[in-house]
Amino acid sequence: MALHIHGAWILLFVLPALVTPAAISHEDYPADEGDQTSSNDNLIFDDYRGKGCVDDSGFVYKLGERFFPGHSNCPCVCTEDGPVCDQPECPKIHPKCTKVEHNGCCPECKEVKNFCEYHGKNYKILEEFKPSPCEWCRCEPSNEVHCVVADCAVPECVNPVYEPEQCCPVCKNGPNCFAGTTIIPAGIEVKVDDCNICHCHNGDWWKPAQCSKRECQGKQAL
């Protein structure tokens, strides 16, 4: 009876030894999700603080090394606190600049407009032109157009005409004025009817003619 009990105790001690760590699968004891994510993050995103700098493309630079990050054209120096980049005061771009390059740290003007634009047309610097018969213009070095408009004198006639390519009207038949509804030349007396003789004012061509009545020819006949 004593031997039978002793054998049972031996069997109880042997069974736990048969269950080895290799027999326990990961499915029986799943790892914590936070531990798995942390492990993967450490493999993908390395921490280069105090060791180097990383640009936008993932390239690593050593401490003290100069490099150009993808978001800037200005050079940077890799330090233990991260990249330290130059921030110069760039000169202003000329408002007439037509071609700007951004290859360097500061934008650079490569071509300045050397012409003037006026009413849809381009003119060279210092070029003179007449956009209309009464305008005289010039393209200034500042790329601005300055114009002078002719100031026409008062015509010496009541029927001036405009000739092609001429700014001011001209009196083709010389000075004259109105005597009633009749246009008479200046400088001479004109008999406008049987009783009236008229002449134009001296210098005041826009005023009506001065007329004087004389003995009518019809009365003389009576």
Which is higher by pLDDT, 132 or 40?
A: 132
pLDDT for 85: 84
Q: CA-CA distances (angstroms) from residue 113 to 25, 95, 107?
A: 78, 9, 17
β-pair type (145-149, 135-139): antiparallel
Least confident of 36-45, 48-57, 118-127, 205-214: 36-45
Q: Which helix (H) or strand (E) holds 38?
A: helix 33-44
d(CA 176, CA 211): 14
Q: What is the CA radius of gyration of the chain?
A: 53
Task: Give per-residue pLDDT as tens, 79-116.
Answer: 888 888 888 888 888 777 878 887 778 888 887 788 89
112 has which bridge partners?
97
Q: Are strands 182-185 and 190-191 parallel, antiparallel or unpaired?
A: unpaired
Report the b/e string of 16-40 with b at 16+ CB within 10 A. Answer: eeeeeeeeeeeeeeeeeeeeeeeee
Residue 50's pLDDT band, with cuts at 50, 70 and 90, is low
Q: Strands of 157-199 (E only): list them.
A: 176-179, 182-185, 190-191, 196-199
Residues forming CATH 2.10.70 domain(s) in the chain: 115-149
The CATH number of 115-149 is 2.10.70
